[in-house]
Structure 1
Amino acid sequence: MRVYPTADIYVGRVFERSRAVEPTSSEESTAVEHTSYLMAQAIHHAIDEWKTDIIVIPSGLENYCEDLNRAVDAASNAGILIFAAASNYGNVMGVTFPARKYPYWKLFCMFATTPSIRANCGFNPTHLGAKYNFAILGEDVMIPFTQNVRSGTSYSIMIGAGLAGLILEFARHEAAKGGEDRLEKLPTVEGMSAVFATMTGDEKDNGYDCIVPWNILSQKLRSDIADKVAARRDVLQKIIAALERCY
């Protein structure tokens, strides 16, 4: 909410317990009780009923799940951006499922950075060597309306998803009129990745592409007294240029 205050947010509960429940034998609980099944059903509900632009999956599973895999593919094919948490266990677990689909352009996996924009958080798993291994703030995140701070890639994907939502909203703004045909690829993993890449600069940090949102603005337009019309025009041009390079 702090990143994208005007977003309409829908919440689907997929955890019956404090931890994920995964099937390990045919004698255990039915598929309805499995967290992976509930996650898949929540995604289908977001596609068919809520008709969301973005789906956030702040948890992951150690093992592959076919139901969840099909649900993620369905959302991707429906033009919905998916953000999935990498995991908070370093290389003990590695990148969890479904986040590990990110090298195949099916969704976004966000790793965490420190407030100083370094991707050296001990809980980050090693990236999978994709073209982009995006990381955004995920350490010492201040929780709204409290004095609590939290850390984890779950917070990174919420911030990343909020940023993507702002970009999608901007593309529907009055300032973007006339450029709709050039913005049609924006709500795709490839398109949004191209825009995120304009915010990362040329240097990687430990192999991660660290997102600095204000990098999309030219230096002279970053102050509070900058010409807002010029700033919007500048951002629009940056987005269009990124999409044209991508496609």
Structure 2
Amino acid sequence: MDNLLSSIYDYVDPFDAVEVARGTFKPVRIAILDSGFDPQHPFLKTLDQRLDPRIKEAQSFVQQTASHDIQDEIGHGTHALGLLLNIATCAEIYIARIAHRETLDRNTYDDIAKAINHAVNEWKVDIISMSFGIREYNEPMKTAISNALHSQTLLFAAASNDGANLGRAFPAKYPSVFCIHSTDGNGNPSAFNPTADDKDVNFSLLGEQVSSHWPIGRNGHNEPVKAMSGTSVATPIAAGLAAAILSFVRQQEQHMPPGGELPLGPWLKDVHSMDEVLKSMVRQRRGAGYDYITPHSLFDRKSTREQVYDRIKDIRRHLYD
């Protein structure tokens, strides 16, 4: 994964808690809706054994659990959190525990809707990562997602892992939600992806054999790192990439004098704007049907920060030409 995303690190400054506390910089906020996380994981601790300061808040929305019961009983949430922290180095992370077992049921749907509403209304997040999918319509979830989109929150969801047997799952198939598919390390589509939709964009990112944090001892795995595969793995990578793009723009605009061109930061919060920026990084494999995102095509290491910023400005300008 580092090879895929390493070019971004040269353009996005790391998280600065002092600058955030002073109010001189507004970090991107991401909510991750998953199985919670392991707060005792060694990779989530600082040198003085405090929790990583980028993890701002965690809350359980699982029925019949206390709100502070955020312990990951599956492992997936900890894995996804590790990916986000690795990619979105300048973002604040908010964790919503919405599951305590791998299979979601109808009792979980209301919990998910409450978590989305809380992330938007209370945490004021910019991005929500949802590494799950269901196969039936749920009105509370639909309403929560619609309200989140109306609030200009960018939503990323896993396409599904059922291959050609089934299509995209909900909420990934909901209009204006970024539906994320998986590839191997060479950009080849994963066999478990749903069939590409020829009437829509089919964003894909690395989702096979991706190593990240894992609760030690969970499910018989006694190491702090585990490799996982799935569109649910590619989803936090995509959400983290969007956060990195938004962080880069905010950092650039932090040092610009007022009164110039309209800033890109607010523009990027619109789903169609972020969609265009992600499309600018796509490389299509002939006959594959999926839109493989290559971050180095925007953050190419040969360009200055100003040149990368100007490329994003050009995307906005061409969108309205």
User: If the length of structure 1 is used for normalisation, what is the TM-score?
Assistant: 0.83
What's the counterpart of residue 198 of structure 2?
A: 129
What's the counterpart of residue 116 of structure 1?
A: 186
* Higher RCO structure (Cα 8 Å, ≥6 apart): 2
CA contact (8 A) 2:180 2:234 kept: yes
Which of 191, 201, 210 aligns to 1:141? It is 210
What's the counterpart of residue 102 of structure 2?
A: 18
Unaligned runs of 5+ in 1: 23-33
Where 1:172 maps in the other structure, the secondary structure is helix
Root-mean-square deviation (CA, aligned residues, Å) is: 2.0
Separation (CA, whole Å) in 1 of partners of 2:182 and 2:109 = 24
Separation (CA, whole Å) in 1 of partners of 2:286 and 2:119 = 34
Unaligned runs of 5+ in 2: 1-84, 215-223
Letter of the aligned partner of 1:108 in structure 2? Answer: F
Separation (CA, whole Å) in 2 of partners of 1:171 and 1:85 = 26
Percent identity of paired positions between Structure 1 and Structure 2: 34
What's the counterpart of residue 28 of structure 1?
A: none
Shift in Å at residue 204 of structure 1?
A: 5.7
CA contact (8 A) 2:284 2:292 kept: no
Shift in Å at residue 179 of structure 1?
A: 4.3
State yes or no: 1:196 paired with 2:278. yes
Where 1:155 maps in the other structure, the secondary structure is helix
Where 1:82 maps in the other structure, the secondary structure is strand
Which of 164, 168, 173 aligns to 2:242? It is 164
Distance 1:11 1:169, change over 3 A: same
Shift in Å at residue 39 of structure 1?
A: 0.8
Separation (CA, whole Å) in 2 of partners of 1:141 and 1:17 = 21
Shift in Å at residue 71 of structure 1?
A: 0.7
State yes or no: 1:87 paired with 2:169. no
What's the counterpart of residue 50 of structure 1?
A: 123
CA contact (8 A) 1:217 1:234 kept: no
What's the counterpart of residue 63 of structure 1?
A: 136
CA contact (8 A) 1:186 1:243 kept: no
Which of 219, 227, 252 aligns to 1:174? It is 252
Distance 1:246 1:130, change over 3 A: farther
State yes or no: 1:238 paired with 2:311. yes
State yes or no: 1:210 paired with 2:288. no
Separation (CA, whole Å) in 1 of partners of 2:187 and 2:269 = 26
Distance 1:132 1:233, change over 3 A: same
What's the counterpart of residue 152 of structure 1?
A: 230
Separation (CA, whole Å) in 1 of partners of 2:97 and 2:158 = 16
User: If the length of structure 2 is used for normalisation, what is the TM-score?
Assistant: 0.65
Higher strand share: 2
